[in-house]
Amino acid sequence: MSIIEVLDKGYVRLVNHMGSDLTVANAARVSYAKESNELNEKDIRLIKFLAREGHTSPFRHVILQYEIYAPLMVARQWWKYVIGSAHAEGTGDSLEAWNESSRRYITEEPTFYIPASDQWRSKPENSKQGSGDILNEEVGMKLTQELLEYIELGVQKYEAALADAVCAEQARLFLPSYGMYVRWYWTASLQSVCHFLNQRLEHDAQKEIQDFAKAILELSKPLYPVSVQEMMATTE
């Protein structure tokens, strides 16, 4: 499986990948001029040691590339990992790359994330972020309908601006932004991917980005079962 659907219209697609668990072990052994041709128990013990002791550079020799289609509110949370990876001690990753579609150049029909009536969540009781329990159906129906009407109005104004010969990069100002789907390519090392997963699979992460993180994990772990298991176990 190379693509997993997420939310109402989103998805994560594995585009490409390079390396294996053996790549990690061999990268760590290069200073001893040694190399394995096939993953064995000694390699697995080495990977476990590297992850446990925080020797993370060998995990940066494995690269994954994904195509992601998600609401803007998810994309902007995700983007912090691209910026942070180049500076944060222990998670530095100069190979991180992000390319996102832009309505400066295309005028495809806007698509929006619209929670169903049973998906609206209350604010948390003891935190300034995150969410609480599901709101009752009556309130949920009202919120979904109001969001649909708001989106429809914005799209109408966007299309009217385009019809008035306004450039696409300004016409998009009329579109409701946070729920609008955007598409991007994310290329990152296995270390960076696991850092993202460790944080965005936490129970207090926003549910929508948790759902995308679960898809990333499902696509990635079969490719690097030992490395992913050990890199994520270090924060449990």
Q: Which amino acid is at 62?
A: V
pLDDT higher than 70, residue 90: no
Whether the pLDDT of residue 124 is over 90: the answer is no
pLDDT tens sequence across 6-26: 999 999 999 999 999 999 999
Q: In whole angstroms, how large is the CA radius of gyration of the chain?
A: 21
**Spatial distance between the Cα atoms of 227 and 191, rounded to a whole number of angstroms:** 9
Round to the nearest angstrom and report the end-to-end CA distance of the chain.
27
Amino acid in position 96: E
Average pLDDT over all residues of the chain: 90
Contacts of 74 (CB under 8 A, 6+ apart): 10, 206, 208, 209, 212
pLDDT at residue 83 in the model = 62
Indicate if the pLDDT at residue 86 is higher than 60: no
pLDDT at position 32 over 90: no
Tell me if 155 sits within 8 A of 110, measured CB to CB: yes
Instruction: Give the Cα-Cα-Cα angle 118, 69, 24 (nearest 5 degrees).
Output: 115
What is the three-class DSSP state of 69?
strand
Confidence check: pLDDT of 236 > 60: no
The one-letter amino acid at 45: R
For 4-27, give the DSSP string: EEETTTEEEEEEEEE--HHHHHHH
Measure the CA–CA gap between 169 and 30, rounded to whole angstroms.
Answer: 49
Binning pLDDT at 50, 70 and 90, where does residue 31 land?
confident
- Percent of the chain past pLDDT 90, that is, above it, reads 75
Residue with the bigger pLDDT between 236 and 223: it is: 223
Neighbours of 175 (CB within 10 A): 19
Between 124 and 133, the more confident residue is 133
pLDDT at position 35 is 80
pLDDT of residue 125 exceeding 70, the answer is yes
Predicted pLDDT of residue 99: 86
What is the pTM (predicted TM-score) of this model? 0.89
Check pLDDT > 90 for residue 130: no
| DSSP 8-state symbol, 119 | -
pLDDT for residue 87: 45
Tell me if 63 sits within 8 A of 187, measured CB to CB: yes
Residue 51's closest CA among 28, 18, 29, 82?
28
Between vectors from CA 127 to CA 123 and to CA 129, what angle results, nearest 5°?
65
Residue that has been written with the tokens 């109005």 in this structure: 153
pLDDT at 34 over 90: no
Task: Find the catalytic residue in 13, 60, 183, 200.
Answer: 200
Q: What is the pLDDT of residues 164-221, one digit of tens each?
A: 999 988 999 999 999 999 999 999 999 999 999 999 999 889 999 999 999 999 999 9
pLDDT, residue 147, reads 98
pLDDT of residue 95: 60
200 assigned to active site: yes
Q: Is the dihedral of CA 75, 77, 80, 81 positive or negative?
A: negative
pLDDT band at 97, cuts 50/70/90?
Answer: confident
